[in-house]
Amino acid sequence: MEIKSKIEQLIGLLKGETDLYRSMQVVIDREKEATVQSDLNALNKTIIEKEKILVEIQQKEAQRRLLVADLSDKLGYGARDLTLTGISQLVEEPLAKSLNLVCQDFSSVLCRLQADNQRNQQIIEHSRDLIRDSFNLLNELLTPNTVYYRTGNIKSTKSTGKCVRSEV
């Protein structure tokens, strides 16, 4: 009977974690929009929101680990050897099916979150590269072209003949 209540607690914790990861998904989507629009204030807000959600996820994860460790003792397995799939195979059918469904939902949310996080990372790296290229272009405009003469003398001129557009 006690194992059944522990499994139900585990299912509840996993549902809670899944909901937190879904809320993280919403924040990551807002992060993408803020990055694309180069809105630094919105980007800073999303970073703060992500940090708050991560703290909550870490708390849920610690609770889950304690619960799985307790379950592993009761089921006679090592905590590191006992996976969620393994637990579902050891319990009776109504709970096993519920646990499997929660695990599948949890896994799909995590996969989507990971893909979107990688997408945001690529967007941020691309933006960083554009900024670096713009900075290098502006630095080149400040440096006058060097003219080499037959005699070996070097003379710098102020007019470089470079042109700058407001659009790329």
In a domain, 94, yes or no: yes
In a domain, 156, yes or no: no
Average pLDDT value over all residues in the chain: 84
Q: HSE (CB half, 13 Å, CA atoms) of 27?
A: 18
**pTM of the complete model beyond 0.85:** no
CATH number at residue 86: 1.20.58
In a domain, 115, yes or no: yes
Tell which residue, 66, 89, 88, has the closest CA to residue 79.
Answer: 66
In a domain, 62, yes or no: yes
Mean pLDDT in residue range 155-166? 53
| pLDDT for 6 beyond 90 | no
Q: Report pLDDT digits (tens) over 105-147.
A: 999 999 999 999 999 999 999 989 988 988 888 877 766 656 5
In a domain, 72, yes or no: yes
In a domain, 164, yes or no: no
Cα–Cα distance, 77 to 94 (Å, whole number)? 22
Domain limits for position 138: 2-143
HEC profile for 139-157? Answer: HHHHCCCEEECCCCCEEEC
In a domain, 162, yes or no: no
Domain count, the chain: 1
Mean pLDDT in residue range 49-55? 96
